[in-house]
Every structure is written in structure tokens, then in C-alpha cells.
Homo-oligomer: A and B are copies of this chain.
Amino acid sequence: MQRVTVYLDYLCPFAWWGLELAYVVAPQLGLDLVIQHYSLEQGDHPENASLPRNAPTWKLAEQPLEGPRSLRAFLASHAARQQGKAAHLRFALELFRLHHQDKRELNDDQTFVEVVGRAGLDLERFMADLEDEESRRLELARDLEQAGELGVFGTPTFVLPSGDAAYFRFTQLTTEPELALNLWELFAAVLYNGAHIETIKRPRK
């Protein structure tokens, strides 16, 4: 199995579509899909604006639960991760769908309970892991540090088995397997091309 890491933030619809895409192609290509986290609230915070991405002073994992819009969702994601990679992946997909499709509150325990049910996780264990807030905050801090070291600036950012990494934003999601595979292989072909393509980006009017 070849590992693909996806950095995501639950606030971001592009991250949702990117995860859906990777979820469709992973079994077709034998990819081992691993979720890590990047925080838009931390990355775009005014206090961090002029600082290197690996040296922020405003850190999401150190904030009170009540402030940021995404903190509790990230901690819930780390609680789900305790039940294994596959469970984590299902949890992430269902949380994205419930928030962006069904417009449910992101930072809300009732949402998490429903997601845990849909994703087939052990609810009792999930709640216990979520209550161990200090451990979850440490895990989140580590994820965000790794994203900072890599220079991640948005989500989704994928790290391919070769180590090539890129932000990948598209607006028309397809989960039809052949179209999804075509889209993924196009993305990989861009990163593997010998010209070392750094950016392809449409202007916005």
C-alpha cells in the first residue's frame, strides 16, 4: 500500500470534495489514505500573518474551546482517530457531509454523536477519548506543526507516496469511479511531471 496523506480543515468545502475524491480512488489504486489536520483559522490569523508557517504565535490547539469555529471539530477528529485509520476516515467524511451538505453546526457535540452513529464508531469510547482533551490538544498541536513544517497553506493538501505535495482545489465533485480516477491521475501527473510544475491557478475576475 502506498501512503497518501491529506491535510484538511472541516471548515473548508474544498477539503470535503478532495477527501471524497481520494476516498473513491484509494481502493482502486491501493492507496493507504491518512488524514492529518491544517487549520485555516490558525494559518490566516492576523497575529501569524508575517511569520513563517512553521513558527506561528497564535496556536489553535492552545485556544479556549469557545472561541474558534473549528477547534472542537478537530479535537473530535482526533478522538475518532483513536479507533483506527478507517474509522477516522469514515468519521471525517460524515462530519464534512453533515456540516457542508446538511448545514449542521460544526462545533457541536450533538453533531459529533450523529456522525459517530453514521460512521459506525463506538460512541462510548469516542466520548471518553474526546473528554481526554489534553491528549487530543497535544495531538492536534503535533499535526499543525507538521503542516507548518511542510508549508501547507490551504486545504486539501495532499502528500503523494513520492513525497510530492500540493494544494488541490476543484469545484465540481464527481464520485463516479472512472471520472474520479481520471481526475486523481491528472493531479498526480502534474506533480510527477519532469518540468517540476509548481502552480497552475486560474485567475478570478
Q: Is the beta-carbon distance between A200 and B151 smaller than 8 angstroms? A: no
A157: chain B residues within 8 A (beta carbon): 203
Complexed CA–CA distance, A5 and B55 (Å): 41
A45 to chain B, nearest CB (A): 18
> So how many copies of this chain end up in the complex?
2
The answer to whether B205 and A168 touch across the interface, beta carbons within 8 angstroms, is no
A174 CB to nearest B CB, Å: 6
Determine whether A167 belongs to the interface, using a CB cutoff of 8 Å to chain B.
yes
A49 within 8 A of B: no
* Inter-chain contacts of A169 with B (CB < 8 A): 197-200
A164 within 8 A of B: yes
Contact A172 B196 (CB under 8 A): yes
- Cα separation A182 to B195 with both chains bound (whole Å): 10
Give chain B residues whose Cβ lies under 8 Å from the Cβ of A189: 186
Whole-angstrom distance from the CB of A190 to the nearest CB of chain B?
5
Within 8 A of B (CB), among A41-90: none
Of the residues B173, B195, B200, contact of A171 by C-beta under 8 Å: B195
8 Å CB contact of A200 from B152, B194, B195, B199 = B199
A166 / chain B contacts, CB cutoff of 8 Å? 200-203
User: In the complex where A186-B189, A193-B186 touch, is A201 in contact with B203 (Cβ < 8 A)?
Assistant: no
Tell me whether A203 and B168 are in contact (CB under 8 A): no
A203-B172 in contact given A183-B193, A183-B195 (Cβ < 8 Å): no
A202 touches B164 (CB 8 A): yes
User: Contact at A199–B201, with CB atoms within 8 Å?
Assistant: yes
- Which one, B152, B182, B183, B203, contacts A151 given CB within 8 A? B203
Interface residues of A (CB under 8 A from B): 149-153, 157, 164-174, 179, 182-183, 186-187, 189-191, 193-205
